[in-house]
Structure 1
Amino acid sequence: MKKWHWYLYMIFFGMMGCVAQTKTGADKSATKIENGKVTLSNPDLEYEVIIMDNGFERWFNTNRMPKGHYSIDYLENKNRRWVQQWNAKALQPNSGIDYTIDYNNQTHYGYEVNYMLYHYLLYYQRMNNLKLD
C-alpha cells in the first residue's frame, strides 16, 4: 500500500454521553473549508470534526456528489460500516491507519457531518487503495 505523508487528523470533540437528537430535528451543522482544513460543527450536540489533509479539499471539490444525492439513511449506514472497518484496521499494527474514529451509532450527527465523513472515507480509500466494505 502506498504511504501518504499528509498530516491527517479527524477529531470528534465533546460528544456528550449518549445524547441523541431525533431525525426530525433541524440540522444546524456548519461547514468551513479553507487551506486544506475542513471544519464541521453542530452547537446543539457540542461536537466538532476537523479534517486536515491537503489533498482532501481539492478531491472533494472535484469528486463529491451534490448534497441531497444520498439520503441521510444511506450515509449513516455506510459510515457505520466504514467506521467499524476503519477502527478494526487502526487497531492492527502497520495498517497505515494511526487513529480510530469516535462515531456513536446512537447519535444523529445530521446530514452535513455524515455527508463529509462519507466523502472523506471514500477519498481515503481511493487514495490509499483500501477497501472498507
Structure 2
Amino acid sequence: MKNCIYILILGIFIYSCSTTKNRKMDVATTDIASDTIRIANDSLEYEIIIIEPGFNAWLITQRPRGFYSETFLETRNRIYVTEYNQRVMQPQRFDPNLYLQQINYDPVIHYGYEVNYLLYNYFLYFEQRYRQRFIVTRGRRF
C-alpha cells in the first residue's frame, strides 16, 4: 500500500511536469493583443484605434470614467490635438517616429464621453511614456 502511494505521487509529479511544455508562458504577446483599443461609430464615420503596449494597464491606474466632465475632456482634447498636429507638421523639430500622423478631431462633432475619455488619457500616457510636454501640462512633473 505504501508503494502504491509513492507510485501515485511520482506519477502525478511526472504528469504535472510534462504538461508545462504545452503551456504558453509568453505574457508579452497577450499584453500586446489586449492593448489594442478600437472605438468606432459608423453613423458618424469615425474610428479610434489605440495600439500601445502598456496602455490598458496604465489606464486602470488613472481616474475612473465619470471623474471628469465631458466639457473638460473636449476642451483638453482640442488643445492636445492642436498641439499634436502641429508637431506632426514639424518633423525637423519633433521626432517623426513619435508623431506619425495627424489626428482628425473635429470640435463640432459630438464624439461622446468614452471617446473623449480615452483620447485624453492617451495623451496623458503619451506624455508620460515618451517624456513629452504639451501646452496643457507645462507645470506638470513626471
How far, CA to CA, are the matches of 1:36 and 1:67 in structure 2? 18
Residue 103 of structure 2: which of 101, 104, 113 is its match?
A: 101
1:118 to 111, 114, 120: 120
- The answer to whether structure 1 residue 92 and structure 2 residue 94 are counterparts is no
In structure 2, distance between residues paired with 1:117 and 1:61? 14
Matched AA of 1:46: E
Q: For residue 38 of structure 2, what is the aligned residue in structure 1?
A: 39
- TM-score under structure 1 length normalisation: 0.70
Deviations 1:35-68 (A, max 9, x none): 2101112243232211111121111122x21111
**RMSD of aligned residue pairs (Cα, Å):** 1.3
- Is 1:72–2:89 an aligned residue pair? no
In structure 2, what is the Cα distance between the partners aligned to 1:60 and 1:52? 13
Secondary structure of the corresponding residue to residue 54 of structure 1: coil
1:128 equivalenced with 2:126 (yes/no): no
Supply the distance in 2 between the matched residues of 1:38 and 1:70 (Cα, whole angstroms). Answer: 20
Counterpart-to-counterpart distance in 1, 2:102 and 2:46: 16
Identity, in percent, stands at: 38
More strand by share: 1
- Alpha-carbon distance between aligned partners in 2 of 1:56 and 1:83, rounded to the nearest angstrom: 18
Alignment size in residue pairs: 99
- SS for the counterpart of 1:101 is coil
Question: Which structure 2 segments of 5+ residues have no match?
Answer: 1-32, 136-142
Q: Is 1:61–2:60 an aligned residue pair? A: yes
Name structure 1 gaps, 5 residues minimum: 1-33
Distance across 1 between alignment mates of 2:111 and 2:122: 15
Relative to its length, the structure with more helix (as a share) is 2
In 2, Cα distance between the equivalents of 1:37 and 1:67? 19
